[in-house]
Amino acid sequence: MKKFWSYTLNISLFVLTFFTTTLAGVQWLNKDPLELANFWYGLPYSISILAMLSAHEFGHYFAAKYHKLNTTLPYYIPAPPFLVNPFGTLGAVIRIRSSFSSKKSLFDIGITGPIAGFIVTIIILVYGLLTLPDKSFIYSIHPEYLPSGEIPTNGFSFGQSIFFYGITKLFTWNGFVPPMNEIYHYPYLCVGWFGLFVTALNLMPVGQLDGGHVMYALIGGKRQTIIAKIFFGLLIAMGLLSFIPFFGFKLYLGSIGWLLWAAILYFLIKLKHPEINDDTVLTPTRKFLGWFAFITFILTFPPVPFIDFGV
């Protein structure tokens, strides 16, 4: 019983996040999230997104336990979709109270979260593509499309990554793929896109992000810092390129959000990874997984995550 009460905050945040993500799922379907009868419409979205986040965080958790580090259970972060974040959550985190004792433990804990979350994301995304409804589904949400039968491609849109584009082409068999400005109406595709985005954010080779842990363990502190600074510069450049459409040129080469993310990386997460006094060389299997993780980062990274074609 004592242990149960020690987990009260974890459980409470999970329950709150379940409700906020369910409300987000209802809202993505253009239904009223505050109408109780609509609650069930949001369950495919909320269950999927919590499965993806849980896989990521418990990947870290079990790796930390394997290396006998003191860690907490995941803290889920709820976000009311109509006030803070349309996805209904800001993710989840665990807190590792012990110091990393070796590069091996640093690597294992850093990589297991993104890999586990990535696998679950692929399962959700493939399932969504294989069960993709025909156009009548989008017409039920947007009856204004019915007179012409055309689905507009303007307005707010999710951005493409190489992986998302490739997997939608590979697993869509009924001939219809919703445009990126309608993806969020499809709960499994929406969670799949979000899961790939979360994977890319975490695998950035910067500071104490998962990708920073992995890169530090792979190539050491000095080279990790150089790569982090180069990547930081690229983020700034992509943030500045987002202003091009405001000058009358319809070129979408970046996102202003990368400037905010760059500031978070620089001031909070830091570019340089803390030093670990361990010169152990990683095993070939870990090296393979490490470079595979960064290939995954390149494939899942969307240079323009969100686009408003109305700009």
Following DSSP, what letter does each residue of 193-234 receive, concatenated?
Answer: HHHHHHHHHHTSSSTTSHHHHHHHHHH-HHHHHHHHHHHHHH
Q: What averages of pLDDT result for each successive group of 10 residues across the chain (311 residues)?
A: 76 97 97 94 98 98 96 96 89 94 95 98 96 93 90 91 95 84 97 98 97 97 96 97 87 92 96 92 96 97 88 48
Instruction: Identify the pLDDT of residue 242.
Output: 93
Look up residue 285 and give its two tokens: 């299997």
User: Would you state the pLDDT for residue 174?
Assistant: 67
What are the CA-CA distances from residue 210 to residues 6, 39, 63, 158, 204 (Å)? 27, 34, 13, 24, 7
> Is 109 a domain residue?
no
Q: What is the pLDDT of residue 250?
A: 81
Number of neighbours of residue 303 by Cβ within 10 angstroms = 16
Residue 56 lies in a domain: yes
Distance between CA atoms of 308 and 155, rounded to whole angstroms?
5
Phi then psi dihedrals of residue 107, to 5 deg: -65, -50
The reply to whether 10 falls in a domain is yes
Map 94-158 to HEC letters.
CCECCCCCCHHHHHHHHHHHHHHHHHHHHHHHHHHHHCCCCHHHHHHHCHHHCCCCCCCCCCEEE
Q: What integer pLDDT is reported at residue 148 of this predicted model?
A: 86
pLDDT in the model for residue 2: 57
**Positive or negative: CA dihedral 129, 131, 132, 134:** positive
Q: Which domain range does residue 85 map to?
A: 1-98
Q: Is residue 217 part of a domain?
A: no
| Burial of 20 from C-beta contacts in 10 A (0-12 / 13-18 / 19+) | buried
Measured CA to CA, the distance from residue 77 to residue 93 in angstroms comes to: 8
User: Residues 158, 142, 133, CA angle at the centre, nearest 5°?
Assistant: 75
- pTM of the entire structure? 0.95
Residue 75 β-bridge partners: 93
In a domain, 90, yes or no: yes
The reply to whether 111 falls in a domain is no
The per-residue pLDDT for 229 is 97
What is residue 310's predicted lDDT score, i.e. its pLDDT? 60
Domain count, the chain: 1
DSSP-derived secondary structure letter, 307: E
Query: Cα-flanking dihedrals φ and ψ of residue 267, to 5°?
Result: -95, -30
pLDDT of residue 21: 98
Whether residue 224 lies inside any domain: the answer is: no
Residue 20 lies in a domain: yes
In the chain, the largest separation of any two C-alpha atoms, in whole Å, equals: 67
